[in-house]
Amino acid sequence: MANITAAEVNKLRQSTGAGMMDCKNALVEAEGDFDKAIDILRKKGQKVAANRADRDSSEGAVIAYVNDDNTKGAVISLNCETDFVAKNDAFVALATEFAKIAVNYTSKEDFLNAPFGNLTVAEKLIEQTGVIGEKLEIGAFECVSGPFVGSYIHAGNKIAAVTALSANVEGADVVAKDVSMQAAAMGASILSYKDFDPAFVASETEARIAVIEKENEELKRLGKTLKNVPTFISRSQLTPEIIADTEAKLKEELKAEGKPEAIWDRILPGKLERFISDNTTLDQEQCLLDQNFIKDEKINVAQYVSSLGDVVVTDFKRVSLA
């Protein structure tokens, strides 16, 4: 039997992340051959991975990472089976190592085939499945690029986002992080209402009106205040003609209320803004640039970004385990 030293066991542990006893047993089985011991541990990982292939891996850590010159960013989720493992510092560190590699690739397939030491990322996942004893996999893989990219990871590593700006100017780091925080917190799915498919908006409008009308039936039965039934749900539906028609109707209302025409200009903007707010609920939910900015709800995200000058958000990605 080969004489296995503590230094050899520690070297194997540092290389693979496996436990001390697993490393010692692998070296004993390999008769001190380091490469053979790694292969033994890898095969153990393959067996564990095969046995746990049908397990649910809905827990994990979401990590965003941006390269050194702030031109590329990636968000990945390293999924596992339990929250106990997900909160482990070593697990989060492993997820961070993966994210640092991911930033150099544009597809999940290429990322999984990328080198991780003397393994590929995919092989490292199998190895660590054997080490940790839970199913591990890369859930989400998203990336952006641009003149300036910033990121944000929400506390607890369950949500993260990256944002690309059209220019690298003074203050871009703060704005890119703030917009990434907005995306993480508010759950936007697209940049602007201009990106909506009209068919989707029409279908969603019909569905939402039906829900509110159903709720109002119950509210009416209970003698409670009915909810407003919107005609529209997105700015994409509010054509210049609709805005003009709404403004004319508001003027008629002010006239009927006996408000002096001399003060209409002070009242109309607020009423028109309220009309737009009541009829753009979908935008507030899904459109990053059209959402009220969480740090100053008097402006939207697009207006906040414009504080940098001639700069716009060109792309963003958000990943959440929730």
Which amino acid, residue 186?
A: M
For 38-47, 87-96, 113-122, which range has the lowest pLDDT when averaged over its residues?
A: 38-47
Predicted confidence band at 252 (pLDDT cuts at 50, 70, 90)?
very high
**Matching CATH number, 6-51, of 1.10.645.10, 3.40.50.970, 1.10.8.10, 3.40.50.720:** 1.10.8.10
Give the Cα separation of 162 and 67 in Å (integer): 12
Average pLDDT over every residue of 50-68: 85
List 160's β-bridge partners, or say none. Answer: 153, 319
Helix axes 6-16, 34-51, angle to 10 degrees: 50
- Least confident residue range of 63-67, 122-126, 197-201, 242-246: 122-126
**Angle, CA of 175, 178 and 183, to the nearest 5°:** 125
In this predicted structure, what is the pLDDT of residue 44?
Answer: 74
Instruction: State mean pLDDT over 110-123.
Output: 93
Residue 145 C-beta-side C-alpha neighbours within 13 Å: 6
The pLDDT value given to residue 21: 78
Domains of the chain, by residue range, sit at: 6-51, 59-187, 194-308
> pLDDT at position 2, please?
65
The residue with greater pLDDT, 244 or 322, is 244
- Please give the Cα distance from 65 to 98 (Å, whole number): 10
Q: Which residue has the higher pLDDT, 228 or 249?
A: 249
Same fold, 6-51 and 59-187: no
Tokens found for residue 265 = 């200009």
Tokens of 1: 């039997």
Contact assessment for residue 25 and residue 137, using Cβ atoms and an 8 Å cutoff: no
What is the pLDDT of the chain when averaged over all its residues? Answer: 91
Classify each residue of 166-185 as buried b or exposed e, where b means 16 or more C-beta atoms within 10 Å of its C-beta.
Answer: bebeeebbebbbbbbbbbbe
- The CATH number assigned to the domain with range 59-187 reads 3.30.479.20
The alpha carbon torsion through 214, 218, 224, 226 (nearest 10 deg) reads 10
pLDDT, tens only, 144-159: 999 999 999 999 999 9
Task: Please state the separation of Cα 67 from the chain's center in Å.
Answer: 18
pLDDT digits (tens, 9 = 90+) for 7-42: 887 887 776 666 677 778 878 888 788 888 877 777
Please tell me the predicted confidence (pLDDT) of residue 30.
81
